[in-house]
């Protein structure tokens, strides 16, 4: 068999096995996932023209005729870690009617190959084994079986795929830098300032804060916290709140360990609150994102406006067989790392921006009310920029309602996205996929009703006509949801996330609270039942938003309901504060998909308790939550792009994809990464994080969508919390 070398020198030892035992390996660490297909096709993909399925325990694909290159029809697995200078052995069983090429190569440029070998298949399954030497280290190698160029169609079947090699065990080899963990961005000079230190000592240890010149400006003794369950670290705490001198480049030293630098500032969150909010303009659909507003690196053409290759969002049909009309659903925000737009998630994000505005107005926060705060086209139009940004999403939400005279009139379509997942990377204007409206759901309709009711209340001041549109949409959506209380979105996730929700009592309660706050109609009060619990809130669990609406507008609700909502809110906030104090790192959130948003949403509840009481412990807990997000955590990682020495910058996103294509940018400053998620729900996490402690199950890697995606409802929470912190 000929040896092929592409872009790098490789060592190939081809062996056709004929019943012989495989060669022994000193450390045969398995590097592919699901190589026996016991979990169906999980972790494996195939080209669009090469449909694959699992039959009798084998992955079988229909190979088309008439293609030109081997890579025109492929089966593969991505995000495989390889180490420089280590041999890797690929073993598999295959059957077919033609020659194929097998490859182990890197995905990012320059695409260095470790293995690249042609084999001839027969209809009788045969087992092959090849070994190649990796010349580079990467988490982005790809195993592929390339079957393009066939002269006649046939079925290719694969089984028992194994890739072994390397000396670092799966999940091993991680180093988190300094054992002294601080808020890498900075602390308010007048606020509480703490750090967490990983140290096995059972007695306190001396600490020193040094200024940028190395002079000691504060000192003390650590407090031994002990074992931290979520991280499996033994932790000490250092409190240097007495240091109040403004400055940059401070470090905290404990023994031989020195923290990353941090600042003490009067307003450390002044810029972050703007960047967190500016995130939404970056993710607008249907408008050019021009360099004048975002800089040259992040500028891009408008996406999904019917300009080839886009199919566009101005006349989107329903999934076949579900309706007979099209809707203009242009605009809005791309939800996360893909090109989908989802009503349940989008309504919550818009609602949080509206709540941010109403809080700013109530608390006299002039920055939050500024027209000119953000670099957006609507700047200087006489309307606060936060409302301009929220309106971009609200206009999209209003367009998702089923037209009058059609079945399910007034309900909201659950989502709109591509027929299949787009390639990665992929700028929105280059997306070639057809897009479809997915059937209406009760949850989406109630989310729309809640956001539109709040829109109607707020825009009365700024645009009466738009306020009336929102009022009409909210009323129509409420009636439609009452008429169809059990239209649930299916759990399907091809081309977009499912966002399924089969429990909608909380959405009914939230929408009723917002409609009552806007209209004063007491009839809505009987539908308010679901309220805040220690679970907090998310896009699926919106009961807490009922109480947040009530305490935001106490004069619009009966006194007994206001008193009860305030009591519940304080009780839950107290629980979050206690939980934070019981940990070695100051996190109040759950370690789940989007765990950083759980931290930020819980901080919203704690901050609201501060607004109600003025008690400093609530303010301190919010600031400690930001410390966690900005580096005082088990990973020594700032989850916010552009803030901190070790900041997340390879989030899962279609066009902020510098890790895959150096011509594309990293995320803009202020983008919040999803955070630790021990469920390991993507191949990159499964490959690199098995056995991780829950607080360390995170990978700053574009392939790790379950730990490192971005999302609009995560950044809306960050924008809210940083605005609060900037006014304290």
Model confidence over 285-299: pLDDT tens digits?
A: 999 999 999 999 999
Instruction: Say if residues 79 and 43 touch (Cβ distance below 8 Å).
Output: no
Instruction: Say if residues 357 and 367 touch (Cβ distance below 8 Å).
Output: no
Rounded to an integer, the average pLDDT of 470-498 is 95
Instruction: Please list, in sequence order, all residues whose beta carbon lies within 8 angstroms of the beta carbon of residue 190, skipping any fewer than 6 positions away.
Output: 244, 266
Task: Write down the pLDDT at residue 2.
Answer: 28
Instruction: Say if residues 593 and 493 touch (Cβ distance below 8 Å).
Output: no
DSSP E strands, 302-346: 316-317, 326-327, 341-342
Instruction: Say if residues 367 and 723 touch (Cβ distance below 8 Å).
Output: yes
- Can you read off the two tokens belonging to residue 399? 């367009």
Task: Write down the pLDDT at residue 423.
Answer: 84
- Three-state helix/strand/coil letters over 526-587: HHCCCCCCCCCCCCCCCHHHHHHHHHHCHHHCCHHHHHHHHHHHHHHHHHHHHHHHCCCCCC
Task: Write down the pLDDT at residue 13.
Answer: 33
Task: Tell me 448's DSSP state.
Answer: H
Task: Tell me 259's DSSP state.
Answer: P
Rounded to an integer, the average pLDDT of 443-470 is 98
Task: Write down the pLDDT at residue 12.
Answer: 31
Task: Write down the pLDDT at residue 19.
Answer: 32
Radius of gyration of the chain (CA): 27
Task: Write down the pLDDT at residue 27.
Answer: 60
- Can you read off the two tokens belonging to residue 494? 């091809």
Q: Residues 581-612: pLDDT tens digits?
A: 999 999 999 999 999 999 999 999 999 999 99
DSSP string of 265-296, one letter each residue: ES-TTHHHHHHHHHHHHHTBSSS-B-HHHH-G
Instruction: Please list, in sequence order, all residues whose beta carbon lies within 8 angstroms of the beta carbon of residue 586, skipping any fewer than 6 positions away.
Output: 194, 196, 580, 621, 624, 625, 627, 628, 632
Q: Residues 129-145: pLDDT tens digits?
A: 999 999 999 888 999 99
Q: Residues 76-111: pLDDT tens digits?
A: 999 999 999 999 999 999 999 999 999 999 877 777
Q: What percent of the chain has pLDDT over 90?
A: 92
Q: Residue 21 class from Cβ within 10 Å (0-12 exposed, 13-18 middle, 19+ buried)?
A: exposed
Q: Which has the higher per-residue pLDDT, 17 or 184?
A: 184
Of 608, 590, 585, the C-alpha closest to 674 is 590
Assess whether pLDDT exceeds 60 at residue 263. yes
Of 398, 310, 303, the C-alpha closest to 350 is 398
- Three-state helix/strand/coil letters over 95-127: ECCCEEEEEEEECCCCCCEEEEEEEECCCCCEE
Assess whether pLDDT exceeds 50 at residue 4. no
Assess whether pLDDT exceeds 80 at residue 7. no
Task: To the nearest 10°, report the CA torsion of 676, 681, 683, 684.
Answer: -10
Element (DSSP H or E) covering residue 155: strand 154-165
Q: Which has the higher per-residue pLDDT, 7 or 644?
A: 644
Give the mean pLDDT of the chain: 94
Instruction: Say if residues 89 and 30 touch (Cβ distance below 8 Å).
Output: no
Q: Which has the higher per-residue pLDDT, 257 or 491?
A: 257
- Can you read off the two tokens belonging to residue 203? 């007695």
Of 119, 271, 248, 182, the C-alpha closest to 726 is 271
Q: In what order do the strands lie in the sheet with 52-55?
A: 15-16, 126-133, 87-95, 154-165, 58-63, 52-55
Instruction: Please list, in sequence order, all residues whose beta carbon lies within 8 angstroms of the beta carbon of residue 427, skipping any fewer than 6 positions away.
Output: 300, 301, 303, 654, 655, 664
Instruction: Please list, in sequence order, all residues whose beta carbon lies within 8 angstroms of the beta carbon of residue 465, skipping any fewer than 6 positions away.
Output: none
Task: Write down the pLDDT at residue 152.
Answer: 95
Q: With bands split at pLDDT 50, 70 and 90, how would you rate the model's confidence at 381?
A: very high
Instruction: Please list, in sequence order, all residues whose beta carbon lies within 8 angstroms of the beta carbon of residue 540, skipping any fewer than 6 positions away.
Output: 344, 499, 501
- Can you read off the two tokens belonging to residue 455? 């829109």
Rounded to an integer, the average pLDDT of 187-195 is 97
Q: Is the pTM of this model over 0.75?
A: yes
Instruction: Please list, in sequence order, all residues whose beta carbon lies within 8 angstroms of the beta carbon of residue 556, skipping any fewer than 6 positions away.
Output: 516, 517, 520
Assess whether pLDDT exceeds 60 at residue 153. yes
Of 611, 602, 477, the C-alpha closest to 553 is 611
Task: Write down the pLDDT at residue 112.
Answer: 81
Q: Residues 398-424: pLDDT tens digits?
A: 999 999 999 999 999 999 999 999 888
Catalytic residue list:
338, 652, 700, 709
Task: Write down the pLDDT at residue 14.
Answer: 32
Task: Write down the pLDDT at residue 494.
Answer: 87
Task: Write down the pLDDT at residue 109.
Answer: 75
Give the C-alpha separation, 523 to 516, whole Å.
Answer: 8
Alpha-carbon dihedral sign for residues 587, 590, 592, 596: negative
Of 137, 94, 93, 145, the C-alpha closest to 115 is 145
Q: Give percent helix, percent strand, percent coil of the chain, each to the nearest 5.
A: 30, 20, 50
Rounded to an integer, the average pLDDT of 49-72 is 95
Task: Write down the pLDDT at residue 8.
Answer: 28
Task: Write down the pLDDT at residue 18.
Answer: 32
DSSP E strands, 189-240: 194-198, 206-210, 216-221, 223-228, 233-239
């Amino acid at each position: 068999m000929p040896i092929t070398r592409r872009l790098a020198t490789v060592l190939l030892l081809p062996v056709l096995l004929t019943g012989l035992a495989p060669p022994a390996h000193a450390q045969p660490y398995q590097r592919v996932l699901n190589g026996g297909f016991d979990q169906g096709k999980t972790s494996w993909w195939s080209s669009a023209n090469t449909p694959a399925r699992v039959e009798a325990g084998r992955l079988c694909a229909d190979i088309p005729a008439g293609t030109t290159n081997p890579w025109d029809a492929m089966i593969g697995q991505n995000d495989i870690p390889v180490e420089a200078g280590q041999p890797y052995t690929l073993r598999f069983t295959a059957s077919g009617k033609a020659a194929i090429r097998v490859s182990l190569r890197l995905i990012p440029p320059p695409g260095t190959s470790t293995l690249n070998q042609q084999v001839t298949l027969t209809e009788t399954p045969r087992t092959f084994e090849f070994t190649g030497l990796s010349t580079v280290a990467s988490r982005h190698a790809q195993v592929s079986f390339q079957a393009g160029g066939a002269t006649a169609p046939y079925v290719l079947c694969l089984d028992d795929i194994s890739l072994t090699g390397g000396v670092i065990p799966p999940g091993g080899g991680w180093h988190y830098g300094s054992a002294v963990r601080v808020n890498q961005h900075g602390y308010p000079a007048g606020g509480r300032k703490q750090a967490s230190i990983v140290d096995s000592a059972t007695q306190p240890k001396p600490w020193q804060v040094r200024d940028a010149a190395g002079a000691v400006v504060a000192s003390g003794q650590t407090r031994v916290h002990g074992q931290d369950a979520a991280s499996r670290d033994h932790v000490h705490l250092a409190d240097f709140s007495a240091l109040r001198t403004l400055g940059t480049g401070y470090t905290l030293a404990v023994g031989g360990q020195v923290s990353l630098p941090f600042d003490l500032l009067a307003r450390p969150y002044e810029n972050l609150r703007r960047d967190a909010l500016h995130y939404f303009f970056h993710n607008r659909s249907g408008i050019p994102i021009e360099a004048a507003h975002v800089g040259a690196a992040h500028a891009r053409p408008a996406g999904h406006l019917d300009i080839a290759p886009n199919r566009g969002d101005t006349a989107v049909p329903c999934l076949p067989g579900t309706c007979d009309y099209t809707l203009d659903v242009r605009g809005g925000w791309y939800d996360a790392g893909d090109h989908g737009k989802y009503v349940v998630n989008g309504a919550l994000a818009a609602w949080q921006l509206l709540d941010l505005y109403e809080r700013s107005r109530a608390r006299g926060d002039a920055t939050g009310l500024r027209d000119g705060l953000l670099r957006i086209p609507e700047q200087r139009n006489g309307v606060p920029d936060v409302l301009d940004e929220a309106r971009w999403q609200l206009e999209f939400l209003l367009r998702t309602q089923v037209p009058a005279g059609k079945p399910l009139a007034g309900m909201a379509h659950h989502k709109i996205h591509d027929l299949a997942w787009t390639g990665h990377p992929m700028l929105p204007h280059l997306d070639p996929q057809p897009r479809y409206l997915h059937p209406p759901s009760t949850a989406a309709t109630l989310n729309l009703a809640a956001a539109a009711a709040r829109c109607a209340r707020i825009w009365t001041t700024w645009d009466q006509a738009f306020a009336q549109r929102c009022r009409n949409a909210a009323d129509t959506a409420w009636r439609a949801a009452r008429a169809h209380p059990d239209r649930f979105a299916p759990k399907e996730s091809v081309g977009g996330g499912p966002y399924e929700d089969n429990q909608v009592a909380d959405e009914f309660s939230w929408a009723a609270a917002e409609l009552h706050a806007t209209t004063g109609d007491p009839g809505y009060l009987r539908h308010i039942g679901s309220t805040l619990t220690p679970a907090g809130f998310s896009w699926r669990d919106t009961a807490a938003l009922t109480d947040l609406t009530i305490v935001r507008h106490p004069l619009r609700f009966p006194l007994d309901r206001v008193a009860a909502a305030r009591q519940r809110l304080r009780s839950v906030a107290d629980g979050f504060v206690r939980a934070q104090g019981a940990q070695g790192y100051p996190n109040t959130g759950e370690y789940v998909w989007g765990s950083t948003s759980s931290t930020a949403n819980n901080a919203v509840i704690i901050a609201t308790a501060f607004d109600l009481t003025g008690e400093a412990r609530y303010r301190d807990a919010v600031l400690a939550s930001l410390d966690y997000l900005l580096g005082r955590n088990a990973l020594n990682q700032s989850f916010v792009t552009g803030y901190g020495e070790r900041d997340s910058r390879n989030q899962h996103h279609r066009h902020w994809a510098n890790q895959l294509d150096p011509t594309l940018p990293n995320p803009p400053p202020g983008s919040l990464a999803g955070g630790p998620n021990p469920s390991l729900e993507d191949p990159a996490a499964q490959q690199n994080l098995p056995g991780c402690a829950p607080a360390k199950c995170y990978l700053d890697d574009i392939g790790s969508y379950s730990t490192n995606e971005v999302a609009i409802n995560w950044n809306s929470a960050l924008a809210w919390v940083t605005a609060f912190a900037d006014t304290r």
